[in-house]
Chains A and B, each alone.
Chain A
C-alpha cells in the first residue's frame, strides 16, 4: 500500500515543455486514470515516475522522494507496463517474467530459488503457467500483455504504472487485461496510475480521472464529472454523446454529422 504525490512535476523535451507543473495526490489503493488527446503529456508523467524521462519538481511515494532512492529501490516501488513493450521473440515466458525480479538481484548476483518460486507462483496465479516454456514470438498479443503484467507483478511493486496497456488488444482482451489489473489491485492493495485512450474503459476502471491538455490539467474528478460531452468536445475536438447506463457506467459514444 503506497500513496503517490506529484509536486509541480514538469517534463521538458529540449525547449518544449510537455508537462506543466503537474500536482496531484493518488491515495493508497486508488486507481487514477489519465486521459487526454495525443501529446497531452500522459505518457510523460508516467515515464517520469519510473525515471525514464528527466523531470523537475518531485514525485513522492509514501512521503519520500523517488529521486533520492536508488535505481533498484525505485524499480521495486513502481512497476511499469509500457504501451508497446519490446518482447524478444526467442525469450521464454518464464525468462520474461523473471526480469521483474531484477530489482532484488545484486549487481553480480543471479536470481535465487526464492525468486524462481515467486515467478512460478505469479504465473500460476495469472494462469500463465502453460506459457512459461513457450517463446514470446509464439504467443498472441493478449497472452503477451498478460506476461507483461506478470513481469510487473513479479517486481512486488506497490504501484503499477500502466501506459496505454491495452491499446494493441481487441475488446475482449482489453477487458481481460484490465479485469486482471483490477483483481490484482484488490488482492494486493496496489495503487494504479494508467493512461488510457478508450474513455469508456477509463471511466469504467478508474476511481478518478484527470484530463490533460497540452501538459496542463483541465479537469479532474470522478468519471461522471470529467466525462461530459462539453468537456470532451472542448479538449478532444470531438462530437460525442455521453450516455449513462442504469448501473452508473458511463459510455462515450462518438457521433457523426448528418450528411443528408
Chain B
C-alpha cells in the first residue's frame, strides 16, 4: 500500500515539463479536501500534474494491477506457471480488432464521443476468448485444461495470421498499428481511466474472492471436486472476469507484455505461492511495477516516448533473472 502511494508520487513528480519535483507532493496535498498549504505551484503547472501526469500514472497502475492479477488467476485455473492473461486470445483478438479499425476504416468515428478503436478491440478480445473457451471446452469435456490451452494457441495463431494478412495489404498503416500494439499509457486522459476503472474494479474484486478456490485447484481438478469445489464453475467465473478486465485494459493501453507473467512470479518468489497472498499482492505489486516502468519510458529518450511494453520487458526480464538467482542461492 505504501509502495503504491510512493510510486504514484514518483510518477507524478517526474516529467519533461512542469514544476520542480519536490513541489508536486505539496501541490497534491494542497488539493486534498479541507487542506490548504502553499505549494508554490502555478495553475498551469498544476494542470500538467493533474491532467497529464496523474491520469497516466493512474492508468498505468490500473493496467499493471489488472494484467498481473489476471495472469496470476490464469496461472491458477490452468495450473500452468507459463500462462499469461493473453493465453486464450485476449491480446491477439484486441490486436486484430484495432488493426481492422485502423487499416480498413481509418478515421471512422473521429467525431464520435467514444473512440471506436478501443471499443472494437475490446469486443474482439472478448469474442476471441469466448470462441477459444467454447472450442476448448467442447473437446476437453472441461476435465482437462490442456485442450483449452491448445485451443488458445491455435486461436492466437489464427488471429495473428489474419492480422498479418490485413497489415500486409495495408502497409501504409503498419506504423500506426504497431504503435498501438506496442502499448502506451502516455496519451492517457481521465476519460481512459474512467473507461477501464469499472472493469478493473469488478474483475479485481471477483478474483480476490476466488483466491481460496485457486489454492484448492492447486491439488488438481479431481481432488478439488472431492473437497466440494465446483471446479468447472470456478474456472469459468475466473476466466470470464480475468478476461473482462484484461480486454478492457488492452483496449486502452495496447499489448503490454511480460507484466502478467512476471509480476505473479515475483510475488511468489517473495511471498510464497499461496493465492491468498498472491492475489492481493499482485494487484498492488503490478500497479507499482507498471507505474515505475512508465518512468524510464518518458525519461530516456525525452521528449520522445519509449513504448512501455519495451520497458517492461527490458527492465523486468533482468530483474526477474536476478530474483530467481538470489532465491536459488538462499535455498
Contact = CB atoms under 8 A, between A and B. Distances in A.
A72 B230 CA distance: 9
A51 interface: yes
Q: Which of B216, B222, B274 has the most CB of A within 10 A?
A: B222
A74 interface: yes
A88 B273 contact: yes
Contacts of B273: 88, 90-91
Contact of B212 (A50, A88, A110): A110
B223 A75 contact: no
A58 B177 CA distance: 60
A102 B216 CA distance: 8
B198 interface: no
A73 B230 CA distance: 12
Interface string B12-50: 000000000000000000000000000000000000000
Chain A residues touching B, range: 20 to 34
B330 interface: no
A100 B225 contact: no
A86 B228 contact: no
Q: Which of B218, B227, B276 has the most CB of A within 10 A?
A: B227
Interface string A87-115: 11011100110011011010011100000
Q: Which of A47, A50, A96, A102 has the most CB of B within 10 A?
A: A102
Contacts of B228: 70-76, 102-103
A163 to B, nearest CB: 10
Contacts of A87: 219
A91 B220 CA distance: 13
B229 interface: yes
A109 to B, nearest CB: 8
A78 B227 CA distance: 9
B140 interface: no
A28 to B, nearest CB: 21
Contact of A99 (B209, B219, B230): B219
B268 interface: yes
Nearest to B220: A86
A115 B191 CA distance: 46
B226 A80 contact: yes
B237 to A, nearest CB: 10
A80 B215 contact: no
B226 A50 contact: yes
Interface string A174-218: 000000000000000000000000000000000000000000000
Nearest to B234: A107
Nearest to B272: A90
A85 B225 CA distance: 13
A52 B219 contact: no
Given A91-B274, A108-B209, A51 B215 contact: no
Nearest to B218: A88
A86 B215 contact: no
Interface string A34-55: 0000000000000100111000
A109 B228 CA distance: 14
Contacts of B274: 91-92, 95
A98 B315 CA distance: 38
A112 to B, nearest CB: 13
A73 B226 CA distance: 10
Contacts of A109: 212
Contacts of A90: 268, 272-273
A227 interface: no
Interface of A: 47, 50-52, 70-76, 78-80, 82, 85-88, 90-92, 95-96, 99-100, 102-103, 105, 108-110, 155
9 contacts: A47-B222, A71-B225, A75-B228, A80-B226, A82-B222, A90-B273, A92-B272, A100-B227, A155-B227
Given A52-B226, A71-B230, A99-B219, 12 more contacts: A50-B226, A71-B229, A75-B228, A82-B223, A86-B219, A86-B220, A90-B272, A91-B215, A92-B272, A95-B215, A99-B227, A102-B216
